Amino acid sequence: MTTPHLVTRDKTRRIMVGRVAVGGGAPLAVQSMTNTDTRDVAATLAQINRLAQAGCHIVRCAAPDMTAALAFGPICAASPLPVIADIHFDGRLAVAAVENGAAGLRINPGNIGDQRAVDRVVDAAKAHGVSIRVGANGGSLPKDLLQKHGGPTPAALVEAVLGHVAMLEARGFEAIKVSLKSSNVLDTIAAYRLFAAQSDRPLHLGVTEAGGLLAGAVKSAVGMGALLLDGLGDTLRVSLTADPAREVEAAWHMLAACGLGRRGVEIISCPTCGRTEIDLFSLLAAAEEALAGVSEPLRVAIMGCVVNGPGEAAHADVGIAGGRGVGVIFAKGRVLKKVAEADLLAEFIKAVAVAQAEYRQN
Ligand code: SF4
């Protein structure tokens, strides 16, 4: 069963990041960023491969020096994903990354040198068919804008990013996407909304410096969730102080919750209560591990009691509910069979395999 699609996506211009379409109604593209030393090609590629398996569409790598920029050659040649180079302060690094296969650049035109340096980067991107993301960040707005707007307000962010876009447009460059980030979630939401009301450039969504796994995912879900439900956003990254693969996982949970995308199994589970008579936490962890590789968009349920579990998870394609010594396997709220608690997980995995086969046949 699929979630009804309730969101009407904003129609932005389409650009390409390598072979991935961004904007213009293309599916939302999930991004993450490697945290390996980019100069370590083997470690960076290993992480990129892991991100690809987790469902990442586009990956970004930092290029803090020329050795890292040149490492884009072997990285891009072997990467299963388009690779964006993240550049600060030195336009020559951006040119080197582009010449070595980067599919996109993330720059702040205000900090990579004078107009001539910006022009050289833009010309290299144009010559190689590479897109550029320009971003305004509340922490690095120019003084004149801060004075004019009385601080890093949403209007100041929008004016800053429109200035960056104009610099690229003046050079005849169009493959642009935009991000606007404040450390304040509500300002970030307001800035994206304000920008979208006056531009059809595709949007990269992100909430900057969100935090650790739980706090960061929640903060990102509030900020990006509001925008996604507005129909805004063409690509997104959940920034977490955690393994980058968890960023991808969190992004997919967010897209699924907004009815904007599904990947693999959705596991629903009850919060447990005084009726719970099995170790549901361990059972859930084991089920998550066992189902990590399932790509069919099934909804499965792990419930803590036989009395209420099947009814509470009536919409699940397959479910288990455990009790003291015995559990049940159910589908769409109907109990299929009773099994000993010790066999519950194995029987559940068999039932999921049957549901997978049925999904593939239909
Ligand atoms: Fe409690 Fe059962 Fe509901 Fe889980 S399914 S919360 S154990 S009543």
Check if 312 has its Cβ closer than 6 Å to any atom of ligand 1.
yes
Residue 263, pLDDT score? 85
| pTM flag (> 0.80) | yes
| Boundary of a domain, candidates 213, 239, 257 | 257
Distance 280 CA to ligand 1 centre (A): 10
258 is in an annotated binding site: no
Q: Contact, 299 vs 1, CB < 8 A?
A: yes
Q: Domain ends where: 257, 286, 314?
A: 257
61 is in an annotated binding site: no
User: Does residue 137 form part of some domain?
Assistant: yes
Mean pLDDT by 10 residues, the chain (362 residues): 69 97 97 98 98 96 98 98 95 97 92 87 97 92 94 95 94 97 91 97 90 91 96 96 94 93 89 91 92 87 89 90 89 88 92 91 84
How far is ligand 1, taken at its centre, from the CA of residue 5, in Å? 29
On whether residue 9 sits in a domain, the answer given is no
Residue 312 CA: nearest ligand 1 atom is 5
What CATH number has the domain bearing residue 343? 3.30.413.10
**Domain CATH for 55:** 3.20.20.20
* Residue 304 beta carbon below 6 angstroms from any ligand 1 atom: yes
Ligand 1 neighbour 271 (Cβ under 6 A): yes
Residue 6 lies in a domain: no
Please indicate, yes or no, if residue 10 is contained in any of the structural domains: no
193 in any annotated domain: yes
Asked if residue 319 has its Cβ within 6 Å of ligand 1, the reply is no
Whether residue 112 sits in one domain with residue 213: yes
Clarify whether residues 270 and 339 are in a common domain.
yes
- Write out the residue range of the structural domain in which residue 346 sits: 266-361
Residues 152 and 290 in one domain: no
Q: Is 152 in contact with 196 (CB distance < 8 Å)?
A: no
Span from the CA of 208 to the centroid of ligand 1 (angstroms):
37
Give the pLDDT of residue 332: 83
Amino acid at 29: A
Binding site membership of 184 for ligand 1 (Cβ less than 6 Å):
no
Q: Is the CB of 268 under 6 A from ligand 1?
A: no
Cβ 328 under 6 angstroms from ligand 1: no
| Same domain for 153 and 284 | no
Q: Is 273 in the pocket of ligand 1 (CB under 6 A)?
A: yes
Find the 269 Cα to ligand 1 centroid distance in Å. Answer: 9
**The predicted structure's pLDDT at residue 258:** 94
- Evaluate whether residue 8 is within a structural domain: no
Among 216, 232, 257, residue at a domain's last position = 257
Q: What is the 3-state secondary structure (H, E, C) of the chain?
A: CCCCCCCCCCCCCCEEECCEEECCCCCCEEEEECCCCCCCHHHHHHHHHHHHHHCCCEEEEECCCHHHHHHHHHHHHHCCCCEEEECCCCHHHHHHHHHCCCCEEEECHHHCCCHHHHHHHHHHHHHCCCEEEEEEEHHHCCHHHHHHHCCCCHHHHHHHHHHHHHHHHHCCCCCEEEEEECCCHHHHHHHHHHHHCCCCCCEEECCCCCCCHHHHHHHHHHHHHHHHHCCCCCEEECCCCCCHHHHHHHHHHHHHHCCCCCCCCEEEECCCCCCCCCCHHHHHHHHHHHHCCCCCCCEEEEECCCCCHHHHCCCCCEEEEECCCEEEEEECCEEEEEEEHHHHHHHHHHHHHHHHHHHHHC
Both 114 and 58 in a single domain? Answer: yes
State whether 157 and 72 are in the same domain: yes
CA–chain centroid gap for 60, Å, is 12
Residue from 275, 283, 315 to probe ligand 1 pocket by mutation (most atoms less than 8 Å from CB): 275
CA atoms of 161 and 176, how far apart (whole Å):
11
pLDDT at 109: 82
Let me know whether 249 and 314 are in one domain.
no
- With the most atoms of ligand 1 within 8 angstroms of its CB, the residue from 268, 269, 273 to mutate is 273
Is 324 contained in some domain?
Answer: yes
Q: Determine whether the annotation assigns residue 76 to a binding site.
A: no
Q: Count structural domains, the chain.
A: 2
For residues 1 and 20, give the distance between their C-alpha atoms in angstroms, rounded to a whole number. Answer: 27
User: Do 23 and 80 belong together in one domain?
Assistant: yes
Q: What is the structure's pLDDT at 5?
A: 56
> How far, in Å, from the CA of 274 to the mean position of ligand 1?
8
Q: Are residues 200 and 317 in the same domain?
A: no
Distance (angstroms) between ligand 1 centre and the Cα of 273 equals 6
What's residue 211's pLDDT?
A: 82
C-alpha neighbours within 13 Å on the C-beta side of residue 130: 27
Q: Is 276 in the pocket of ligand 1 (CB under 6 A)?
A: yes
Residue 2: what pLDDT? 46
Number of the ligand 1 atom closest to the C-alpha atom of 274: 1
Does residue 200 sit in the same domain as residue 274? no
Same domain? 87 vs 153: yes
Q: Specify whether 169 is located in the same domain as 24.
A: yes
